[in-house]
Structure 1
Amino acid sequence: MNNDVVVIGAGPAGMAAAIQASSLGLKALVLDEQPAPGGQRFRAIEQRYRRLRAAGKGLPASEQKGLDLIRRFRESDTRFVDQASVWDISPGGRQISYLHHGRSFTIPANAVVAAPGAYERPVPLEGWHLPGVMSAGAAQTMLKMSGHPVKGRIVLLGCGPLLLLTARQLSNAGANVVGLLQTTGPADFLRATPYLPAALRSATLLKQGLQLLTQTPLVPKVFSLTQASIIGADHVEGVNYRSRGGSGFIECDAVLLHFGVIPNTQLSRLAGVAHDWNEQQECWQPVVDAWQETSAENLMVAGDGGGILGDEAAEMSGRLSILRIAHRLGRISDQSLSKLAAPLQRGLKRLAAARALIDTIFHTPETMLIPSGDTVVCRCEEVTAAEIAAANASGASGLRHLKVQTRVGMGPCRAQMCSMAAMAMITPGIRCGQRPPPPATVRAPIRPLTIGQLAEADVEI
């Protein structure tokens, strides 16, 4: 089937791109590995809406917006392939391979909008490999999909809006939250004040932030957290912590970690496009222009996969990418392009200014960002911080050299869970302007694939 554009991901950016494409008469194919559209932000929201409606309740306004987006996406003239896991994208994005119901398909792509979203920043702590430790996002997904929270006594640890939101959602669902340990403290708010004037232009975003800060559950809270270790033999038994206000221990059965989110760059790195280091957000991200276009023509990266700005900005970037593609195909004039794009580009600038405030407030302290001693950094290969430090001392100055000496990053997760921490260890001056080494190399397949599936692949020329 000949498509004008292939959209990878059906989160806010991908859905907005597909809706925009449909409105301009473009043939769009959307691939997503989940059984329903929504992405992580609006995962299982249709299912939740039905549960709430049966109970005589409704969705919060912020989630109702997501439900409306999904409805418009489903009503659009878009071909949506769910449970489709993209495992390869050729250099420049001209060919895409994906798994669907056990079969592999390879299709050509005239234009691509990659909207892979983001994932939670992994911060290795002592004991984070124990049963009972999971990310706050995983706990939130469990709650969204099943309607049931994590069982037992729960401690949430880290920083970021999602940490506060998950704490509130779990408490509202009847979970036993016994502690909320945050790295954020008064000093972080003070340091962020220079960004407040620009952030005031995004009143809705600030209002949502204030609600998160003021509506946290009535549980024991610790601020200005500087160190933490998860204690237990065969499972989680508690958390030892140290903050600027003192130290302590909280008994618990589960620990939910969250230290913000970073772009998922597997697809963009596999496609070979240029990336740059974002000093404010401390992560690698693809270099995109005002139209979300990468260094490869007609390969766009929209949403948080191109830089963390949130779901409202994701929708704007998805629409912008399609406008550029439609203009190149002659579907809209120069005048229409400028008219339609101007408010979206202004909106992105406004939200980017507000994001600087958020990034400064929710900043992971260096004492937690760089693991040490016997802390397991690479859980796949069980490589400790001490082993990485020893390899670095013997001359391993990049992730490739670390792989050779320690096998860090060579497990099933493809270095997604350990590369950021390993990079911080070998670049201690990263917060003083020292540029980190290039990110880990990504090679296909980025999803598990059998030899049989590869041999029987359906290849469309």
Structure 2
Amino acid sequence: MIRNIHSAIDLAPAYDLIIVGAGPSGLAAAVEASAHGITVLLADENESPGGQIYRAVDRASNADLARMGPDYAAGRTLIKRFQAADLSYARRATVWSVGPADEETGDGAHGLEVGISLGGIARPIAAHRVILATGALERPFPFPGWTMPGVMTAGAAQILMKSSGLVPSGRTILAGTGPLLYLLASQLLRAGVSVIAVVDTTPVENWRFALPHVLGFAASPYALKGLKLLWEVHRRTRVIRGATAVEAVGSGQFSALRVLRGNRSWDIPGDLLLLHQGIAPNLNLALAAGCDYVWDERLAAFRPAVDICGASSVPGVSIAGDAAGIVGAVASAHQGELAGLTAALDLHRISQGVYEQRRNELARKLARALRGRSFIEHRFRPAKTCRVPEDDGTIVCRCEEITAGKLREVAALGVPGPNQMKAFTRCGMGPCQGRLCGLTAVELLAQCRGVAPGELGYYRLRPPIKPVTLGELAALPHTEAAIIAVAGFVERAADSPQDH
């Protein structure tokens, strides 16, 4: 049975495997690895397992399940398997670092160390292997007015629906691109929300790039689901396709969405605007751990460099699910299983023959789950004008209130990359650590310099990647090296004079 851990004091000094994130990939990795006798700790920030896609599904009512759809309800099966597994689970835990084990405090057998805060106490926990299953983040969608009250992301609205059953009460407008835009619209409509319009900013020319992949999409489970979803939304609300730009209008509060389509412009009055422009891998912990990454032109985002089993460039660290590249819930679970299985092989808990047989089985399931993804990625790739704001007054970094114009001014000085631009402007230094501005800032700089984003790279991230309180730091074990670093000496009772 699962062991719930509520304080960092109750964590073991070391585990065979530490998994970060309790979404589909993290849960599946934990189940697979624990089945082979590995000591597993799964650490997650949320109150209950499931991640974003299966958030609160274990306590959802029948009405909630009907509103959210069958893909959401499918998460219950995975969570039940997880709850029956022999492993440790730390909910409401913050993982703020992953790196090589401390040579002074480590036991020499565990190569990695994970910084975890739980119950107001921080601890460095040793591990043989680490699997990062940190999921994805909504892509930034900067345009004039996107930071005003009355504007929020589609993901935030979905969190409120799943965790608290809260839905908008006024006239609601959705804008952006991607399957989630239509999924949320259908969920809101089922909940009785007044969705007055869905404004689709997907570039029309995307069809040209998506058509070569249409046969694979037609043979995938996505096709029928997608058609049903589109039919439901089109039947129940107004859908505006081909929007080339949008602007939030209001005097201190959102009151209308200004839509531009070609040379035509008009306003749609509303009380709430929900934005979505696809998702991108959540890189911060992987980059802070030193994992290599690449620019994926098809995703228009950076992603970690991993092999089919999730192994990264850092020995012992694997990455699975949407954290490694956007693949969806079912494929994320199979990637998690592959990462958990590989950890069992690396720790000599299964033979090479058993591993290869199970790996081949999971690889076939993963290939089926990925069928149709190429079409989706090409079809819903967000427009460049939506990723990089043309208006200089548009805020890019919400934390530090840095505009696109300010970034262009600094880019004109010849800064070589986003880290130097961050030093000049503080863009990416706020609480989000670049999660809400990183992609925009890099693409804007690349545009100004006339190079590909991959040539510039991403922000250089160092731990802690999440806020850690002074109290938590004070609770960390005081090693000799740490004391010397602060005090300059270590007082030893055995060899110190009595009256010193």
Distance 1:404 1:259 in 2: 28
Distance 1:120 1:355, change over 3 A: same
Is the 8 Å Cα contact of residues 203 and 382 (structure 2) preserved in structure 1?
Answer: no
Partner residue of 1:16 out of 28, 33, 36: 28
Query: Which deviates further from its counterpart, 315-324 or 421-430?
Result: 421-430
2:81 paired with 1:64:
no
Q: Secondary structure at the match of 1:112?
A: strand
Distance 1:22 1:102 in 2: 28
Partner residue of 1:205 out of 222, 226, 233: 222
Partner residue of 1:418 out of 429, 437, 444: 437
Q: Secondary structure at the match of 2:80?
A: helix
Partner residue of 1:195 out of 193, 205, 213: 213
- Deviations, residues 114-161 of structure 1 (Å, cap 9, x unaligned): 100001001211111101111000001101112120232111110011
- 1:167, distance to aligned residue in structure 2 (A): 0.7
Is the 8 Å Cα contact of residues 143 and 394 (structure 2) preserved in structure 1?
Answer: yes
Q: Secondary structure at the match of 2:125?
A: strand
Distance 1:260 1:58 in 2: 22
- 1:100, distance to aligned residue in structure 2 (A): 0.9
Partner residue of 1:404 out of 415, 419, 423: 423
Distance 1:448 1:243 in 2: 42
- 1:58, distance to aligned residue in structure 2 (A): 9.4
- 1:37, distance to aligned residue in structure 2 (A): 0.2
> Could you say which structure has the larger radius of gyration?
2
Is the 8 Å Cα contact of residues 161 and 212 (structure 1) preserved in structure 2?
Answer: no
Query: Which deviates further from its counterpart, 346-355 or 155-164?
Result: 346-355
Within 5 Å, give how 1:8-407 maps onto structure 2. 8-49=20-61, 60-91=69-100, 94-184=112-202, 187-201=205-219, 203-216=220-233, 218-244=236-262, 246-371=264-389, 372-407=391-426
Query: Which deviates further from its counterpart, 61-70 or 5-14?
Result: 61-70
Q: Secondary structure at the match of 1:41?
A: coil
Q: Which runs of 5+ in 1 are unaligned?
A: none
Distance 1:183 1:18 in 2: 38
Distance 1:88 1:392 in 2: 31
- Deviations, residues 347-393 of structure 1 (Å, cap 9, x unaligned): 33444452110011112112222113100111111111111111111
- Deviations, residues 23-54 of structure 1 (Å, cap 9, x unaligned): 2121111100101000000001122136659x
- Deviations, residues 219-249 of structure 1 (Å, cap 9, x unaligned): 2221011111111121111111112483211
- Deviations, residues 390-449 of structure 1 (Å, cap 9, x unaligned): 111121231112112222111111111111111111112899966341111112222221
- 1:293, distance to aligned residue in structure 2 (A): 0.5
Distance 2:138 2:453 in 1: 24
Distance 1:245 1:384, change over 3 A: closer
* TM-score of the aligned structures, taking structure 2 as reference length: 0.87
- 1:19, distance to aligned residue in structure 2 (A): 0.9
- 1:206, distance to aligned residue in structure 2 (A): 2.2
Is the 8 Å Cα contact of residues 419 and 458 (structure 2) preserved in structure 1?
Answer: no
- 1:199, distance to aligned residue in structure 2 (A): 2.8
Is the 8 Å Cα contact of residues 295 and 453 (structure 2) preserved in structure 1?
Answer: no
Distance 1:430 1:280, change over 3 A: farther
Letter in 1 for 2:55: R
Q: Secondary structure at the match of 2:185?
A: helix
- 1:188, distance to aligned residue in structure 2 (A): 2.9
Give the % identical residues.
34
Letter in 2 for 1:22: S
* TM-score of the aligned structures, taking structure 1 as reference length: 0.94
Distance 1:265 1:300 in 2: 13
- 1:91, distance to aligned residue in structure 2 (A): 4.7
- 1:252, distance to aligned residue in structure 2 (A): 1.1
Report how many residues are paired. 457
Query: Which deviates further from its counterpart, 158-167 or 187-196?
Result: 187-196
Is the 8 Å Cα contact of residues 148 and 173 (structure 1) preserved in structure 2?
Answer: no
Letter in 1 for 2:233: T
Letter in 2 for 1:27: T
Is the 8 Å Cα contact of residues 136 and 323 (structure 2) preserved in structure 1?
Answer: yes
Q: Secondary structure at the match of 1:225?
A: coil
Q: Which residue is equivalent to 2:458?
A: 439
Is the 8 Å Cα contact of residues 49 and 59 (structure 1) preserved in structure 2?
Answer: no
Distance 1:360 1:429 in 2: 25
Distance 1:232 1:302, change over 3 A: same
- Deviations, residues 241-295 of structure 1 (Å, cap 9, x unaligned): 1124832111111111100000001111010011111111011111111211001
Is the 8 Å Cα contact of residues 442 and 453 (structure 2) preserved in structure 1?
Answer: no
Is the 8 Å Cα contact of residues 411 and 448 (structure 2) preserved in structure 1?
Answer: no
Distance 2:200 2:117 in 1: 40
Letter in 2 for 1:198: G
Q: Which residue is equivalent to 2:468?
A: 449
Distance 1:375 1:428 in 2: 16
Letter in 2 for 1:33: E
Q: Which residue is equivalent to 2:497?
A: none
Distance 1:387 1:309, change over 3 A: same
Distance 1:397 1:340 in 2: 46
- 1:89, distance to aligned residue in structure 2 (A): 1.3
